[in-house]
Structure 1
Amino acid sequence: MEVCSITDHSSESIIEEILKIYSSIKDLEDEEILQDTSDHLKNVYQRLDDLITLPIDYEAAEAILNGHGFDQALDTIIRFIYLYTIRLETEYANSILTSNEPWEMLKNYSFYPNYCQLVRTEYQGAGLKANDTVVFLGSGPLPVTLILMCHQHGLKGIGIEQDEQRAELSRKVVDKLGLSNAIEIIHGNHFQLPLSEGADLIMIAAQAQPKKEIVEQLAKALPAGTKISCRIYEKGLRRLLDRSILVGLPAKLAHEFKECRRIHPLPPVYNTVVFAVRSSAAAPERP
């Protein structure tokens, strides 16, 4: 199986690898990515991880991702990463359900330390306190964020997941961990907001898509003063994971929301967390 061919960090080598990866996955259907049991997709995922962790600076990444007209390739790669991540989370969620020690199984999840630190950052950054309610858009089949928010910080959580089967799987995981009284999972999307229960913080997952559309809907639906947090990737080629950074999300946030804090990642976390408050609604346009 072909491995990552990059032997230097030149733009030419990086672009060549992006296009090779694109060629290897462009014809895959969603179900193939979610269900294929061969090593091929695992190796592609590893190649992508090798690629996005290359130590290149912001300006070099900007030139590569914005300057070569391969939007379709980047969109295809993002779709692959999204679906393969769902696959990994689904597999681990099922492992928790079959375990006699579900909490130990969860703690052995490879990204568990990352989530612990990220959740602590969001809890402190948003000024939350016990019994506050958080809504998490894009909670997925393994809602680790909500699990840790509620278990470690005493919050109440509402997860919104657009895929019905993933929503049901996550409910079973929450129940297995004994957190059904603290966490509710709703099958739906950003058009469900605002909820009648209200929320002290609305969180947008890094994997929540399409992020630009989500932010636009929140700008229409949320009352002034609503707090949101948004996980984004903005370091080096990790920006490849989040096309919203390349298509105007920061400008949209600045126009409709007042950014109040931005916390950059420290290892093992990769996400920058942007905290914002919905500004006063603009006056309707005159006909």
Structure 2
Amino acid sequence: MESLQKETILVEKVCEIYHKISKLDSLKPSKDVDSLFIELVRICIPPSSINIATLPANVQEVRSKLIRLCGEAEGHLEAHFSTILGSFPNPLHHLNEFPYYSNYLKLSRLEFDILTEHYSASRQAPKRLAFVGSGPMPLTSIVLATYHLKDTIFHNYDIDSMANSMASHLVSSDPDLSRRMVFHTANIMDVTDELKEYDVIFLAALVGMDIDEKVKVIDHLAKYMAPGALLMLRSAHGARVFLYPVVDAQLLQGFDVLSVFHPTDDVVNSVVISRKIAEPVSIDHGDTHHHHHEWRIESTMPLSCKYCESQAFNNPFGLMKMVDE
């Protein structure tokens, strides 16, 4: 009874904040925008047993619209700081101007450790990696390329040519990263045979912001990725599903799910890693219960993950921002 009461209060607060956000004239960084999203994340961060599937249709609709508003706000925030950093002669020397840069450092280390645990190509690092939905400030690619995957070529895909132009400018003055960072303006659904060239593909959380869109993207990747290649995704769990889309196991047909990490601290997104299966697969999402038994691994976490030794993050708005570019 107490748990139900807590969930009711949570949903009421989320809906209240949604209505305030939806009435804003702009979602560009401002005092009002920042304060509302900080409040939203603070509410959704604590562990919750809430089951979004059991909520009323009007709440489901609020959640869907709220996720899109979060995505729009994140885009404005990235563009704002990408412009600021781009005004410096050497933008990469000033990444700490971005308020949540330290969070990207920690998240990228987490994802690198998970990737290393499961990448097995003669113990060598991936040669070619793609990030889908990289945006105007591709910090995940930048941090991974700078500190962890120093010989890997990064191909960044975004549908927005302006975002790619801004992102390219950030690395243009760096001799190493400008050589290893490639930017493609394309809808990933139009990219086919090129996907076979990547050892690892990262899919940003907001590429496919509802279940139908997400399924189409994942099925497309399953069709064209090379057998054995790894797919890294970001999902959400508990009340965090009001902030980001959920990637359930049954959506990953054509892939073997290797590990899922659901954070219990201030990190908003879950991290999912899967491997493209070698056999041809017939994709059928008609049975939504068929693969639930495979989801037993959802609490697994590579023991070598250095994140387990680090402290929890402190800034909730930064955490919401850091996990999706």
Name the TM-score class by shorter chain: 0.7 to 0.9
Deviation of the 1:157 alpha carbon: 0.3
Matched positions, count: 264
Q: Please give the residue correspondences for 1:29-40 in structure 2 after superposition, counting only pairs within 5 Å.
A: 32-34=26-28, 39-40=31-32
Letter in 1 for 2:27: I
Counterpart in the other structure of 1:220: 223
Correspondence 1:86 to 2:75: yes
* Residues 51-66 of structure 1 mapped to structure 2, 5 A cutoff: 51-53=43-45, 55-57=46-48, 59=49, 61-62=50-51, 66=54
Q: Distance in 1 between matches of 2:27 and 2:257?
A: 36
> Where do residues 1-287 of structure 1 align in structure 2 (5 Å cutoff)?
10-26=6-22, 32-34=26-28, 39-53=31-45, 55-57=46-48, 59=49, 61-62=50-51, 66-69=54-57, 70-100=59-89, 102-127=91-116, 129-130=124-125, 132-152=127-147, 153-154=149-150, 155-178=152-175, 179-191=177-189, 192-195=191-194, 198-210=197-209, 211-234=214-237, 236-245=238-247, 249-253=248-252, 255-265=253-263, 269-279=267-277, 280-282=279-281
**3-state SS of 1:169 partner:** helix
How far the C-alpha of 1:115 sits from its partner, in A, is 1.9
SS at match of 1:126: helix
Gaps of 5+ in 1: 1-8
Give RMSD over aligned pairs.
2.7
- The separation in 2 between residues aligned to 1:75 and 1:284, in whole angstroms, is 25
Contact 1:224-1:281 at 8 Å conserved across structures: no
Change (3 A) 1:67 1:97: same
Q: Please tell me whether the aligned partners of residues 149 and 157 of structure 1 are also in contact (alpha carbons under 8 angstroms).
A: no
Letter of the structure 1 residue corresponding to residue 56 of structure 2:
H
Could you say if the C-alpha distance between residues 265 and 104 of structure 1 is closer, same or farther in structure 2, counting changes exceeding 3 Å?
farther
Structure 2 alignment gaps of length 5 or more: 285-325
CA gap of 1:181–1:50, structure 2 versus 1, over 3 A, is same
1:266, 1:50 → 2: CA distance?
13
CA contact (8 A) 1:114 1:269 kept: no
Q: Which has the higher contact order (CA 8 A, sep 6+)?
A: 2
In the alignment, what sits opposite 2:304? Answer: none
Q: Is the 8 A contact 1:97 1:176 kept in 2?
A: no
TM-score, reference length from structure 2:
0.72
Work out the CA distance in 2 between the residues paired with 1:124 and 1:56: 24
Distance 1:65 1:17, change over 3 A: farther
SS in structure 2 at match of 1:134: strand
- Cα deviation for residue 163 of structure 1 reads 1.2
- Give the letter aligned to residue 158 of structure 1: H
Task: Tell me if structure 2 keeps the 8 A contact 1:162–1:187.
Answer: yes
Moved more, 137-146 or 38-47: 38-47
Q: Deviations over 1:179-226 (max 9, x none)?
A: 210100111122214417711101111232243321121122224322
**Paired-residue identity, %:** 21
Instruction: For 2:178 and 2:16, locate their aligned partners in 1 and report how far apart those are by CA, in whole Å.
Output: 45
Contact in 2 for aligned 1:65/1:240 (Cα 8 Å): no
CA distance in 2, matches of 1:132, 1:52: 37
